[in-house]
Amino acid sequence: MTPLGRLVAGLFLVGLAAVGCGAFRPAPLDLAPGQRVVLGRVDLSGFEAKEGLLEIVREDRAFEYALPVGRTAPEFAIGLPPGRYRLVRLRAGKDRASTPTQVVWDLGPLTFEVGADPVVYIGTLRFGSTFGRLVRVSVVDELEDTLRVLRRWYPDLPATAARALVTPA
């Protein structure tokens, strides 16, 4: 490799390290005006898919959100405006590269409410499947554990969150 090539490669690695360090640093949550913080966890450990998108839709259809889910970072903190929401479907595959061959599971009537509280916890959503076709979703209250993990990334999270666990409609 030429001296110029080594210099360019070295600068690239230094830049990559600087960007990487900034990407994993705690940061404040970025919310649009009127949105509330919605916290939870998606557990895919008992499910055949490893990566996917969980589709969240407000009942009046005025707001939709596609939540990336996976086994590597199951906790989430997102911004949603107040309203009643449904977990509509899970689009998932074995990995990110299998997007064209994703399987879509309709989730049925799973709902939660985002009200006036600034922070809402909707629970740990544990996904399982039966013979690759039927999806089971159970909801577990693990608020303290979820907050402990998310505070590492978002130190400005309040000490408490209102519980609005996902329920069948």
Identify the CATH number of the domain in which residue 44 sits: 2.60.40
Give the count of beta carbons closer than 10 Å to the beta carbon of residue 169. 9
Q: Is residue 97 part of a domain?
A: yes
Percentage with pLDDT > 70 across the chain: 75
Query: What residues contact 154, with CB distance under 8 A and at least 6 apart?
Result: 26, 27, 28, 29, 77
Does 55 reside within a domain? yes
Q: Which domain range does residue 144 map to?
A: 29-168
In a domain, 16, yes or no: no
pLDDT the model gives residue 144: 94
Query: Is 80 within the bounds of a domain?
Result: yes
On the question of pLDDT at 93 being above 90, the answer is no
Position 104 in a domain: yes
What pLDDT is attached to residue 136?
84
Give the model's pLDDT for residue 94: 65
Residue 53 scores a pLDDT above 80: yes
| Number of structural domains the chain divides into | 1
Assigned domain for 141 exists: yes
